[in-house]
Copies of this chain bind each other. A is one copy, B any other.
């Protein structure tokens, strides 16, 4: 991300880099992406200088955390598609399963600032695109199965992901967990192919959501 990809990092530098991203992920999730850089550094067990050597500024760090997370979600999506018997099951698993994983990326999208930072990044764009392609094929397959209602597109599903997985500010963690799970479940029922209200507008496709 920040270093020349040609030159692989020295072992200790690599370790530090990873610690920093890990720490940032947790802290971003807990306190949003605007916590003082010093706090991130401290929590990663390094000096600010080290942090800045690895990531020239806050934006670079935010991007790196986001890339890291997007990549995980993509992996998850692929694993789900492969492991589950039906596309519908894969979607359901994704909606449930990514919750933990996405804690921080979603958080990273809560902030206007973070959003601005990420919107331009080409690496993020690529990951995003790959993820949407994956979701799109699941959506199509699940619709052919007859599990998923026909009037939704990959864009709709992605937006639901985004809406649902973005965390509320942290409250009682037990309740938070139950609540999220229940929201997801209700949403899944809403997605089922069965009689319901016709949806307004038109199905949103992969390209409708930027």
A interface with B by C-beta (< 8 Å):
31-32, 109-113, 115-116, 152, 155-156, 159-160, 162-164, 166, 168-172, 175, 178-179, 181-183, 185-192, 194-197, 199-202, 204, 208-210
Contact = CB atoms under 8 A, between A and B. Distances in A.
B186 A199 contact: yes
Nearest to A92: B197
Contact of A190 (B112, B168, B189, B209): B189
A123 B158 CA distance: 37
B199 A182 contact: yes
11 contacts: A109-B169, A112-B169, A112-B170, A152-B186, A163-B163, A163-B183, A178-B200, A178-B201, A185-B200, A187-B187, A188-B196
A46 B79 CA distance: 47
Contacts of A155: 179
A111 B113 CA distance: 12
Which has the most chain B C-beta neighbours within 10 Å: A197, A199, A208?
A: A199
A160 B115 CA distance: 23
Given A178-B202, A182-B200, A210 B172 contact: yes
A92 to B, nearest CB: 9
Given A31-B112, A163-B164, A169-B115, A197 B188 contact: yes
A155 B187 CA distance: 16
A36 to B, nearest CB: 13
